[in-house]
Amino acid sequence: MDEKVVYSAEDIEENKVIALLSYLGILVLVPLLAKKESPYAQFHAKQGLVLLIAWIAIGIITVIPIIGWIIGPIASIVLLIFSIIGIINALGGQTKELPLIGQFGEKLNL
């Protein structure tokens, strides 16, 4: 049975900016490694890590002729939108999963 994590107002307020880094590519490592004690920062770090993995996968797919050239730009725009959603959530003190890919962040056990 999944336990519901409670995020304290203090944790959220102290770690909003660090959580924002989760959605800026490789900078996901900052909250992932530096804020292990913060459930709020870790939530966003896991979401950001899933997003980074998706970016890498799309980068690989784009080198495939024709299919990659069609799917790559569309997927990149979608992932950019997901990044913006994540940044808005992080700065807004919210712990909402990213659309489509966010569910995988919860499964990460780091």
Position 3 scores a pLDDT of 58
The pTM assigned to this predicted structure is: 0.91
- Phi then psi for residue 38, to 5 deg, are -100, 110
- In angstroms, rounded to a whole number, what is the distance separating the alpha carbons of residues 21 and 23? 5
Mean pLDDT of 41-60: 97
The residue with tokens 């900016």 is: 17
Q: Could you give the count of Cα atoms lying within 13 Å of 32 in the half-sphere of its Cβ?
A: 19
Residue 85 has pLDDT above 80, yes or no: yes
Q: Is the pLDDT at 92 greater than 60, yes or no?
A: yes
Q: How far apart are CA 69 and CA 48, in angstroms?
A: 25
Domain boundaries, the chain: 16-107
Report how far residue 11's alpha carbon sits from residue 62's, in angstroms, rounded to the nearest whole number: 39
